[in-house]
Structure formats: C-alpha cells, structure tokens
Amino acid sequence: MPYHFLEVAVTPSVRAAQADMGVDQIWLGENDRPSDTLTENEIAFIATRDSFYIASVSETGWPYVQHRGGKAGFLKVVDPQTMAFADYRGNRQYISAGNFAANDRACLFLMDYVRRTRLKVYAHVERLTLDADPSLTDLVSDPTYRGRAERIFKLRLEAYDWNCPQHIIPRYTEQQVEQAVAPLRQKLQQLEAENAALRARLEGKSE
C-alpha cells in the first residue's frame, strides 16, 4: 500500500526537488509502514512529552510555528487517530487559533532530545469550547497546572512519521541533570565526611 505520510508531504514541487538531487526513486513504490493510526510505540512516546511544536498556515500563505508545553503527557491520545490538549492563555495574539479557523491543517514536531528522536505528525485541528465536550475537557484538564485554559484543540490524525536522529543535538532538562549528578553529590558528601574525620584524627594525634 502507498505510504500515506508521503502522499500528504510529497507534492509535484517536492518530487521535482527530489529528482534534482537524484533521490526521487527512493520514495516511489509500495510501502507498508503504518502512518495513519498511532501504535503503542507512538502513544507511549506522546505520553512522555512535555512539549511540542505546532505549525499552522495563515490565509496569506505564511506559516506560523508555536511551542506548546506542560506536564509530561499533557497532549492526550483520545484514540489511535485522535489527540487533544488544553490551550492555555498566553500573549493573547491568537495567531494559531485564527489560522486553524481558516485552515484546519497542522503539523506537529514532538522531540526527545535525550534519545535524539523526533515524531512528526500531520493533523486536522478542531477548536472546541471548554463546555463543548465535558468528558474531553476532563481528560485534558490538570487542576494543578498554573494556567487558564481557554479552549480545547482536538487533533484528527492524518499521517505521522519518525525522523532519523541526524543533527539532533542532545539536550537535558534540569530534572534530568539533577538525577545524573545526584550520585556524584552523594559521593562528594561521603568523601568530605571521610576527610573531616581523618582531619579530626590527625589533629587529635598532634595535640
């Protein structure tokens, strides 16, 4: 069967660019890779993300990219073809919200910098009020998160793909760094305590 992600992504101009670089034959033909239904692998990956980038397109044709962040798993998988998240108040420009009202197409990048992994997603976006679907609002809401939710964005999956790790520079969160250096801190404290004990013994002998 055709690889649907490439059906979406590869236009005639893209095919021409591939031909210019001599790689057009690589992406032709049948391919049985799944791309329109999330598997357990993608669902588990999404559940551990604390941020993603989402792109929209304006009525004038200009793309716009926004960062969305929250607690790990704030982007919820409703079912294998649907995701949703609460959209919190920001600088109140509402560029993405306005763009999706005119063109519901979106592209998401979900990054794992530590493992140098990137999931890219094509989706159609539906903007919902907080009272439109109470069960969905309950799913995406987090009463412990500091922020005021203004709407729900519901994403209907069109296609997804995984990128290769080339050129992804590993980056680590503050929590990950703290976890990594915790054993070193403990060892340092142990050595400092041993040094203090030895110093006390030496000073005692010299008296």
Domain assignments of the chain as residue spans, ordered by start: 1-32, 34-167, 172-207
The pLDDT-based confidence of 200 (bands split at 50, 70, 90) is confident
**Residue 29, pLDDT above cutoff 70:** no
Quote the distance between the C-alpha of residue 204 and its chain's center. 60
Q: What is the DSSP string of 109-144?
A: EEEETTTTEEEEEEEEEEEE-TTT-HHHHHHH--TT
| Spatial separation of the C-alpha atoms in residues 108 and 55, rounded to whole Å | 6
Topology of domain 34-167, CATH: Pnp Oxidase; Chain A (2.30.110)
Give pLDDT tens digits for 82-93.
999 999 998 899
Q: What is the pLDDT of residues 41-83, one digit of tens each?
A: 999 999 999 999 999 999 999 999 999 999 999 999 999 999 9
CA angle, residues 42, 86, 67, in degrees to nearest 5: 70
Looking at residue 24, its amino acid is D
CB 97 within 8 A of CB 151: yes
Model pTM score = 0.85
